[in-house]
């Protein structure tokens, strides 16, 4: 049932057939990333180079139900939003294991890109351009009633030419409704809005009242980081940063920022969520600032160190590590050249 502001409550979903991945045609190569509940691999699907996110189901019935619900929501959201600054969704399957397939971006995460530049900072026009990419992606999500809840440099991926940023990882995204409360199982403390904290540490799964303005706060911290190329709340642990922001109203210093940008970050990270601007307003403020600064000096992008897009055979380390979740299975039998299956689906059957 839709709410008055265009945000909708979460409903159960059935994956449209056009988004259903055929595991027989999915080939998995080297691992390129890993999170708390998933691993990401380079792969091939129907001769297209892709990123393959494999979500672990968990062990207990409660954990399995929670992760399957999160997977269902992520796929439902990915399948209905499309924007040049969102990682392109290709498809998903839930059996034999939970897999999400997206386009593969070779520029690496924004976190790695910024680290490669330290101690230098991004040219201001480039930093603001990246911020515009992020704001446009967020404006698209919010227009569809989706809160990302985990906006941070690790979830922002660059294209190979390092000219465009795209938003990834909808694992914690939720649809917003003014009539329901949402759990506080949200992103990384350092970038999280203060209203997401209840005590010194967050009680996992506690119901909280909050809305899409949590993303505006996170955006302010990311923008500050883009400009300074420093970790926000430097010298504090994640929990110390969370406590300082939520209970002492501490924020990174905006004193040395140009007036326009200082206005953006300070308005976005205000304690009162209702006082924060929406992303349409943020985009207009960024565009205004961009019009006032001179073109950037040419900068050579850092040398890319990612591997070639080689697809590994089923017995390779990349595929073996994909199936290493079960310690009691033993080694994967090696097939002969004649009967060697090459599909992701078969590898699952062999190992489980």
Instruction: Summarize pLDDT for 29-63 with one digit per residue, the tens.
Output: 999 888 778 899 999 999 899 999 999 988 899 98
- Which of 246-250, 319-323, 345-349 is least confident? 319-323
Do the domain assignments include residue 135? yes
Q: Which of 150, 215, 256, 339 is catalytic?
A: 150
Within this chain, do residues 50 and 169 fall inside the same structural domain, yes or no?
no
8 Å CB contact between 213 and 276: yes
Within this chain, do residues 141 and 94 fall inside the same structural domain, yes or no?
no
Q: HEC profile for 122-169?
A: CCHHHHHHHHHHHHHHHHHHHHCCEECCCCCHHHEEECCCCCCEEECC
Q: What is the DSSP string of 237-291?
A: -HHHHHHHHHHS------TTS-HHHHHHHHHHT-SSGGGSPPHHHHHHHHHHHHT
Q: Which residues contact 152 (CB under 8 A, 6 or more apart)?
A: 111, 187, 188, 190, 191, 218, 221, 222
Mean pLDDT across the chain: 77
The pTM assigned to this predicted structure is 0.75
- Examine the residue annotation and report whether 150 is marked as an active-site residue of this protein: yes
Within this chain, do residues 169 and 286 fall inside the same structural domain, yes or no?
yes
> Which residues form the domain of 59?
17-104+312-351
What DSSP element (H or E) covers 62? helix 61-78
Distance CA 352, CA 350 (A): 6
Residue 298 in this model has a pLDDT that exceeds 50? yes
Q: Average pLDDT of 19-24?
A: 92
Which structure tokens are listed for 213? 């303005």
67-100 per-position pLDDT tens digit: 898 898 889 889 989 999 999 999 999 988 999 9
> According to the model, what pLDDT value does residue 197 have?
65
Query: Between the CA atoms of 293, 126, 271 and 232, what dihedral angle is there, to the nearest 10 degrees?
Result: -120
Q: Which carries the bigger pLDDT value, residue 173 or residue 64?
A: 64
> According to the model, what pLDDT value does residue 185 have?
43
Do the domain assignments include residue 48? yes
Residue 326 in this model has a pLDDT that exceeds 70? no
Residue 119 in this model has a pLDDT that exceeds 60? yes
Q: Which residue has the tokens 């540490």?
A: 201
> According to the model, what pLDDT value does residue 88 have?
95
Within this chain, do residues 249 and 162 fall inside the same structural domain, yes or no?
yes
Count of domains for the chain:
2
> According to the model, what pLDDT value does residue 184 have?
39
Tell me whether residue 53 is annotated as binding. Answer: yes
Within this chain, do residues 72 and 124 fall inside the same structural domain, yes or no?
no
Q: Average pLDDT of 183-198?
A: 65
Residue 160 in this model has a pLDDT that exceeds 90? yes
Within this chain, do residues 201 and 283 fall inside the same structural domain, yes or no?
yes
Going by the DSSP 8-state scheme, the letter that residue 18 receives in this structure is G
Within this chain, do residues 40 and 173 fall inside the same structural domain, yes or no?
no
High-pLDDT (> 70) share of the chain, %: 70
Do the domain assignments include residue 305? no
């Amino acid at each position: 049932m839709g709410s008055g502001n265009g945000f909708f409550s979460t409903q159960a979903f059935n994956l449209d057939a056009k988004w259903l991945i055929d595991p027989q045609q999915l080939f998995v190569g080297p691992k390129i990333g890993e999170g708390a509940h998933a691993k990401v691999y380079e792969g091939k699907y129907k001769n297209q180079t892709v990123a393959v996110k494999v979500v672990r189901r968990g062990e207990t019935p409660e954990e399995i139900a929670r992760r399957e619900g999160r997977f269902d929501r992520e796929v439902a959201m990915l399948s209905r939003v499309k924007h040049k600054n969102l990682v392109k969704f290709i498809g998903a399957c839930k059996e034999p294991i939970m897999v999400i397939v997206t386009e593969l971006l070779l520029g690496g995460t924004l976190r790695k890109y910024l680290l490669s530049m330290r101690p230098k900072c991004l040219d201001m026009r480039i930093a603001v351009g990246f911020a515009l990419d992020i704001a446009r992606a967020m404006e698209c999500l919010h227009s569809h009633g989706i809160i990302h809840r985990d906006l941070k440099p690790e979830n922002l991926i660059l294209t190979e030419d390092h000219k465009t940023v795209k938003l990834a990882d909808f694992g914690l995204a939720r649809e917003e409704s003014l009539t329901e409360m949402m759990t506080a199982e949200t992103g990384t403390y350092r970038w999280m809005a203060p209203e997401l904290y209840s005590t010194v540490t967050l009680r996992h799964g506690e119901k909280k009242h909050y809305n899409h303005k949590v993303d505006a706060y996170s955006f302010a911290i990311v923008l500050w980081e883009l400009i300074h190329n420093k970790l926000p709340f430097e010298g504090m642990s994640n929990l110390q940063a969370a406590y300082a922001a939520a209970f002492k109203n501490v924020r990174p210093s905006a004193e040395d920022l140009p007036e326009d940008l200082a206005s953006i970050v300070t308005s976005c990270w205000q304690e009162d969520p209702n006082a924060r601007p929406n992303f349409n307003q943020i985009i207009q403020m960024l565009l205004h600032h961009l019009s006032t600064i001179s073109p950037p000096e040419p900068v050579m992008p850092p040398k890319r160190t990612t591997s070639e897009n080689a697809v590994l055979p089923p017995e390779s380390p990349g595929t073996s590590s994909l199936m290493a979740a079960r310690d009691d299975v033993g080694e994967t039998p090696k097939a002969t050249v004649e009967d060697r299956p090459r599909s992701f689906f078969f590898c699952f059957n062999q190992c489980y």
